[in-house]
Amino acid sequence: MAKGRPFPLEARGVCVVLGGHAALDRVDLHWDGDSRIAVLGANGAGKTVLLRTLHGLLEPTAGEVHWSGSGARPADQAMVFQRPVLLRRSALANVEYALSMRGVARAARRARARAALGDVGLDGVAQRPARVLSGGEQQRLAIARAWAVRPSVLFLDEPSASLDPVAAAEVERVMGEIHQAGTALLFTTHHLGFARRAADEVVFLHAGRLAERTPADRFFKAPRSREAETFLQGELP
């Protein structure tokens, strides 16, 4: 474990009510940060809500999210949203912005931003306005932006959703490198093959409840819960 990492993460009895409806229902999660976790489930099962809650964007209605030490949400996390919001400036400037928000000195920003773009294969479009990039390029830019600040935890919400197979493979590769460099990964996805390759564990949500948590390869061969089985068979939406 790297020095200063905020693990283990303890989520206890987390309930989140949104719009009068229980999006998360008494979720317990203990995470040491070493295993890569894929959060799976049908639409509306609460995957994105779980990510947002763990990342600190949503306050639990009940229960608590507790990181190691102080329990307060650590600053060096990052999240890649399903539809990333990019600023109306160049791709490079977007990454530089994220770095400046974390207090990186101006001199170092340019170089680190360029490196991050290089890592995701976007060097060629560094000066293009971020908003005119294709969906796949924007997704990779969001990853570069999150990665550039070297977070200890990286959440990703459907990172390969809008990507063609080539770009998706690229993202897989980058995520592998990010994990190698010591960043903990927790992501949601609909692509089961991707989950199988990129995750060590699967957390399966059903109607806001944590139905199952199983090592990845075992989950896809023989899930323990009935809901997971139905899910894998019918690939419920």
For another protein, the binding residues (CB under 8 A) are 52, 55-57, 75, 77-79, 81, 84-85, 87-89, 97-98, 101-102, 127, 129-132, 145
Measure the CA–CA gap between 237 and 223, rounded to whole angstroms: 18
Measure the CA–CA gap between 44 and 51, rounded to whole angstroms: 13
State which residue, 1 or 57, has the beta carbon closest to another protein. Answer: 57
Q: How near is the Cβ of 131 to another protein at its closest, in Å? A: 3
Closest CA to 171 of 184, 183, 161, 186: 161
State which residue, 57 or 236, has the beta carbon closest to another protein. Answer: 57
Measure the CA–CA gap between 96 and 28, rounded to whole angstroms: 36
State which residue, 97 or 220, has the beta carbon closest to another protein. Answer: 97
State which residue, 89 or 218, has the beta carbon closest to another protein. Answer: 89
What is the number of other CB atoms lying within 10 angstroms of the CB of residue 82? 15
Q: How near is the Cβ of 98 to another protein at its closest, in Å? A: 5
* Tokens matching residue 71: 């329990």
- Counting every residue written for the chain, the total comes to 237
* Tokens matching residue 221: 């061969």
Q: How near is the Cβ of 128 to another protein at its closest, in Å? A: 9
Q: How near is the Cβ of 192 to another protein at its closest, in Å? A: 27
